[in-house]
Amino acid sequence: MRGNVLWFKLVPIITFFLTSACTEDLQLKFKKVIVEYNQAVITAYQSGTAKGLLDIAAEKESNKIQVLIDVKSSNGLVLESELQNIEMLSVTAVTPTDYSVRTKERWKYFDRPLAVGASAGQVFIADMQLEYTIQKDNNKWKVLKVKAEKTEYLEQKPSRKE
């Protein structure tokens, strides 16, 4: 009887440690997915095509990025950006294959004109709180969508047209 009482007291403690370990493992896994996604987005803006995103992002998300690339390009610009820091805030299971992942990221970016000799645009540094929806697709994690929850500029805020 005494062993059963001890066991029931230990179950919540064991469950806590197992859940914490799984959460940390998922956070590391999803951080890797998000960093890979962001690097693919940076490369997409530089190359002018979002086709490389299809390995790490859903088609709808890739198409959204392509539209943004096309808008910059039609204005004679290329977005140059750098992910300077990423902090994982939370990982929440929505379904067994869908997760909501919230991050805090610091980005540095500017518009580089395509015209030879034109001056680069102003450099902006922004702290952003983002929510990623990540989904398992054919045994590979992909970014389904990204939503900016909060953006704080550390220097001058960009004008509306940027």
pLDDT tier at 88 (50, 70, 90 boundaries)? Answer: very high
- The alpha carbon dihedral of 151, 152, 158, 160 has a sign of positive
Residue 158 is predicted with a pLDDT of 65
The total of other beta-carbon atoms located within 10 Å of residue 4's CB is 8
DSSP readout, 104-133?
A: EEEEEEEEEESSTTPPPPPPEEEEEEEEEE
**Is the pLDDT reported for residue 103 higher than 80?**
yes
Could you tell me if 105 and 131 are in contact, meaning their C-beta atoms sit under 8 angstroms apart?
no
Q: Residue 144's pLDDT is what?
A: 97
Examine the pLDDT at 96 and tell me if it is beyond 90: no
Residues 53-73 pLDDT 10s: 999 999 999 999 999 999 999
**Domains of the chain and any CATH numbers:** 2-153 (3.10.450.240)
Q: What is residue 160's predicted lDDT score, i.e. its pLDDT?
A: 56
Does residue 161 carry a pLDDT above 70? no
Q: What pLDDT is stored for residue 143 in this prediction?
A: 98
Q: Considering the chain, what is the average pLDDT of its residues? A: 87
Task: Tell me 1's DSSP state.
Answer: -
Per-residue pLDDT at 121: 87
The whole-number pLDDT of residue 15 equals 42
pLDDT digits over 2-13, tens only?
Answer: 555 555 555 454
